[in-house]
Structure 1
Amino acid sequence: MSEEYGYGGGFALLVVLFILLIIIGASWGYGGFY
């Protein structure tokens, strides 16, 4: 649990989750929301 992992890893994970949410939403038919 180093500093660069806590910041960089956390930020990267947040971005990945956000992208996955958009992809899943679009595949489910919520693409119009974005």
Structure 2
Amino acid sequence: MSGHVGGAFTNAGTILVLFILLVIVICGCFR
């Protein structure tokens, strides 16, 4: 169970990082 929760947390973290990078790229394009 602990491994499953850890995997879900890692997956959410990866999505969060990709979202932040996407926002940075968009801001850079509009700048």
Deviations 1:1-34 (A, max 9, x none): x4212x01100000000010000000011x7xxx
Q: By percentage of residues, which structure has more helix?
A: 2
Aligned residue number for residue 23 of structure 2? 22
**Identical counterparts, % of pairs:** 25
TM-score by length of 2: 0.71
The root-mean-square deviation of aligned C-alpha atoms, in Å, is 1.5
Gaps of 5+ in 2: none
* Structure 1 segments of 4+ aligned residues over 6 angstroms from their partners: none
Q: Structure with the greater relative contact order (CA < 8 A, sep ≥ 6): 1 or 2?
A: 1
Q: Please give the alpha-carbon distance, in whole angstroms, between the structure 2 residues aligned to 1:25 and 1:13.
A: 18
TM-score by length of 1: 0.66
